[in-house]
């Protein structure tokens, strides 16, 4: 490629095409230009001038793809690689025409690419055809979008359904499709002026709220048709996000309307204003959607829990009854918030429906609390909780009456009653077997009675706590014990001490007399 002072590019020609890595050089050039274009695509949202650079890089990618397709026409390249090069060239050409909004040319290029990938998928086994089918699915939304811009109105419905099923699109189409759907709903929202909920009609003047309410039915239908739990969860999150945005828009309208709302409350004897009632309606949608999402998660956890009980497989973390208890706690909290919505305090039917739903979810929550007690062999507590479940379920059955239609979407309490009765018999049998099992060993707490190891050296028992971090060896801190005080000797003790005789160790004195007295006066010593 030249010398140390100057770069001299060497083109890949058909004559030197002796190794397949020569083709990879051209392919990497095209991929580098395409990836840079995708980066510029994201940056162009805030810097519009980068769109010109984006188009330049796409043209560069198409140029390299043309070179790759020309080289693949050589006899040294197999038929599969030739078709893949043609499909790659058609795809990049379609992307370039798509950005130039040349819908007809882009649609022709995408259709050519799709046809080649479909033929390749049919020519190989299912495992090898997965990548080709995946490419076909990625190209299909682009083709429908081009068809819509050419004039095919039916393509719009197909695009929206594909977006809802997949939870979103990627690539060049994502931004354009979101803008198109928003624009379409905005046109429909222009004709929407009011909404009716629980016998009261309120005007809807906020565009964001209109767009959300128009798309609500489509989102709910897509959730109902979701093929797996992951897609359903993604759609729930998308719907909740849109609902929160709509609620925030209403709150912004509520702030300047505070004085007018207070005046309306005084005149209407407690009746909330239209904007406040609309806020309550949107909050009801948000809480109801959250309840449905948590209920869907609870159902999937119940299935996983049932499969685990049947298979008893070890491995990754398995679901537990405590996980379901947490979900039902959140559902009950959402129901409490529903009863406190402004404007619905006097709605007896609404309060009755929420009360029945609360009993249903309390029954299921109580059931899984009992299940958690069964796992730790607390038979009496579990039996009491099973009775409480039956009490809640019977209250729901007796109080349903005219509200049966509102309870259709909830879990059937009759199935719960049947399951609880079966669990009660199983629990009683397990409790009897547990009490009569002679081979059952005592628990460590019963064996050692809380005594440390230093106090039970003479007793043998299997204590797993000895190899844990909570091992009990001695009492610490040690307990207090009475001990005698340290004796103190004062001068008073000297009167009671008998000293040993020291006469044999003291020098004997001479007898005293006149002579000794005189010697002592004059200082003479004996």
Q: Which residue has better confidence, 382 or 447?
A: 382
Dihedral sign (CA 130, 132, 138, 144):
negative
Tell me what the mean pLDDT of segment 455-463 comes to: 77
**Alpha-carbon span 238 to 248, nearest angstrom:** 16
pLDDT of amino acid 212: 81
Q: Which residue has better confidence, 392 or 193?
A: 392
Q: Are residues 301 and 374 in the same domain?
A: no
The tally of domains found in the chain comes to 3
**Alpha-carbon span 216 to 193, nearest angstrom:** 16
Q: How many CB atoms are located within 10 Å of the residue 79 CB?
A: 9
* Contact status, residue 250 vs residue 241, Cβ threshold 8 Å: no
pLDDT digit string, tens, across residues 111-137: 899 888 888 888 877 777 888 888 888
Residue 379 carries which DSSP code?
H
Q: Are residues 138 and 208 in the same domain?
A: no
Q: Are residues 19 and 125 in the same domain?
A: yes
Tell me what the mean pLDDT of segment 288-293 comes to: 90
Q: Are residues 140 and 88 in the same domain?
A: yes
CATH number for 66: 1.10.3450.40
User: Looking at 89, 119, 152, which one is the last position of a domain?
Assistant: 152
The kind and range of the H/E element at 203 are strand 200-203
**Alpha-carbon span 411 to 363, nearest angstrom:** 11
**Alpha-carbon span 115 to 346, nearest angstrom:** 63
Q: Are residues 245 and 125 in the same domain?
A: no
pLDDT > 50? residue 170 = no
Whether residue 457 is contained in a domain is answered as no
Q: Are residues 330 and 376 in the same domain?
A: no
Whether residue 43 is contained in a domain is answered as yes
User: From the centroid of its chain, how far is CA 483?
Assistant: 63
Q: How far is CA 245 from CA 169, 178, 193, 235, 353, in A?
A: 21, 16, 19, 16, 28
Q: Residue 445, preceding bond cis, omega within 30 degrees?
A: no
The kind and range of the H/E element at 277 are helix 274-311
Whether residue 499 is contained in a domain is answered as no
**Alpha-carbon span 357 to 416, nearest angstrom:** 14
Using 50, 70 and 90 to split pLDDT, how confident is the model at 17? confident
Across 297-311, 383-397, 440-454, which has the greatest mean pLDDT?
Answer: 383-397
Q: Which residue has better confidence, 505 or 180?
A: 505
The residues, any chain, with a CB within 8 Å of residue 466's CB and separated by 6 or more, are 453
Using 50, 70 and 90 to split pLDDT, how confident is the model at 57? very high
Whether residue 512 is contained in a domain is answered as no
**Alpha-carbon span 432 to 232, nearest angstrom:** 44
Q: Which of 88-97, 158-167, 475-484 has the lowest mean pLDDT?
A: 158-167
Whether residue 102 is contained in a domain is answered as yes
User: Looking at 110, 137, 152, which one is the last position of a domain?
Assistant: 152
Tell me what the mean pLDDT of segment 459-475 comes to: 78
Whether residue 251 is contained in a domain is answered as yes
Using 50, 70 and 90 to split pLDDT, how confident is the model at 33? very high
Q: Which residue has better confidence, 399 or 100?
A: 100
**Site of tokens 């059955």:** 397
Q: Are residues 148 and 23 in the same domain?
A: yes
Q: Are residues 339 and 370 in the same domain?
A: no
pLDDT of amino acid 31: 93
User: Looking at 384, 410, 433, which one is the last position of a domain?
Assistant: 433
Across 21-35, 344-358, 465-479, which has the greatest mean pLDDT?
Answer: 21-35
Q: Are residues 341 and 369 in the same domain?
A: no
β-bridge partners, 7: 2
* Contact status, residue 232 vs residue 296, Cβ threshold 8 Å: yes
In 418-523, beta strands by DSSP E: none
Angle ∠(516,521,526) on CA atoms, nearest 5: 40
Q: Are residues 233 and 112 in the same domain?
A: no
Q: Are residues 30 and 144 in the same domain?
A: yes
pLDDT of amino acid 205: 82
Q: Are residues 325 and 392 in the same domain?
A: no
pLDDT of amino acid 431: 81
Tell me what the mean pLDDT of segment 514-522 comes to: 59
β-bridge partners, 197: 200
β-bridge partners, 163: none
**Site of tokens 């990627």:** 170
pLDDT of amino acid 35: 93
Whether residue 486 is contained in a domain is answered as no
Q: What are phi and psi of 118, to 5 degrees?
A: -65, -40
SS3 state at 267: helix
* Through-space distance between the first and last CA atoms of the chain, rounded to whole angstroms: 131
Whether residue 145 is contained in a domain is answered as yes
Domain span holding position 288: 204-258+274-305+321-345
Q: Which of 336, 250, 352, 235 is nearest to 292 (CA)?
A: 235
Dihedral sign (CA 235, 237, 239, 245):
negative
* Contact status, residue 146 vs residue 109, Cβ threshold 8 Å: no
Tell me what the mean pLDDT of segment 140-152 comes to: 79
* Contact status, residue 235 vs residue 168, Cβ threshold 8 Å: no
**Site of tokens 């509102």:** 406
Residue 196 carries which DSSP code?
E
């Amino acid at each position: 490629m030249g010398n140390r002072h100057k770069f001299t590019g060497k083109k890949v020609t058909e004559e030197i095409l002796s190794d397949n890595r020569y083709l990879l050089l051209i392919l990497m050039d095209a991929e580098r230009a395409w990836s840079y274009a995708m980066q510029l695509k994201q940056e162009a949202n805030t810097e519009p001038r980068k769109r010109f650079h984006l188009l330049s890089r796409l043209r560069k990618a198409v140029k390299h793809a043309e070179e790759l397709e020309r080289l693949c026409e050589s006899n040294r390249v197999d038929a599969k690689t030739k078709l893949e090069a043609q499909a790659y060239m058609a795809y990049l050409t379609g992307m370039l025409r798509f950005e130039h909004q040349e819908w007809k040319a882009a649609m022709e290029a995408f259709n050519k690419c799709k046809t080649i990938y479909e033929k390749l998928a049919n020519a190989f086994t299912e495992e090898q055809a997965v990548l080709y089918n995946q490419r076909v699915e990625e190209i299909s939304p682009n083709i429908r979008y081009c068809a819509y811009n050419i004039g095919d109105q039916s393509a719009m419905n197909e695009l929206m359904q594909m977006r809802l099923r997949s939870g979103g699109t990627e690539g060049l189409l994502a931004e354009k499709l979101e803008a198109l759907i928003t624009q379409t709903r905005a046109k429909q929202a222009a004709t929407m002026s009011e909404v009716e909920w629980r016998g009261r009609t309120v005007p809807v003047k906020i565009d964001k709220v209109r767009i959300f309410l128009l798309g609500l039915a489509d989102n709910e239908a897509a959730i109902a048709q979701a093929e797996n739990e992951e897609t359903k969860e993604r759609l729930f999150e998308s719907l909740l996000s849109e609902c929160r945005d709509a609620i925030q828009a209403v709150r912004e309208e509520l702030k300047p309307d505070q004085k007018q709302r207070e005046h309306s409350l005084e005149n209407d004897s407690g009746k909330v204003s239209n904007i406040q009632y609309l806020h309550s309606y949107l909050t009801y949608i948000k809480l109801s959607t959250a309840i449905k999402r948590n209920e869907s998660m609870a159902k999937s956890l119940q299935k996983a829990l049932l499969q685990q009980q049947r298979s008893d497989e070890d491995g990754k973390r398995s679901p537990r009854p405590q996980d379901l208890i947490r979900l039902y706690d959140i559902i009950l909290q959402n129901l409490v918030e529903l009863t406190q919505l402004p404007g619905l305090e006097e709605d007896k039917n609404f309060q009755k429906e929420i009360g029945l739903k609360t009993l249903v979810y309390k029954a299921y929550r109580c059931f899984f609390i009992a299940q958690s007690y069964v796992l730790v062999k607390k038979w009496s507590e579990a039996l009491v909780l099973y009775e409480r479940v039956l009490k809640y379920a019977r209250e729901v059955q007796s109080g349903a009456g005219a509200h049966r239609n509102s309870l259709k979407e909830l879990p059937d309490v009759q199935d719960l009653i049947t399951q609880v009765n079966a669990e009660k018999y199983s629990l009683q049998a397990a409790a009897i077997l547990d009490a009569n099992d002679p081979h059952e060993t005592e628990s460590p707490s019963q064996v050692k009675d809380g005594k440390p190891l230093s106090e039970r050296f003479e007793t043998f028992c299997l204590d797993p706590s000895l190899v844990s971090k909570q091992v009990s060896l001695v009492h610490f801190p040690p307990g207090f014990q009475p001990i005698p005080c340290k004796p103190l000797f004062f001068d008073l003790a000297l009167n009671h001490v008998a000293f040993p005789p020291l006469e044999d160790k003291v020098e004997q004195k001479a007898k005293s007399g006149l002579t000794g007295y005189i010697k002592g006066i004059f200082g003479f010593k004996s």
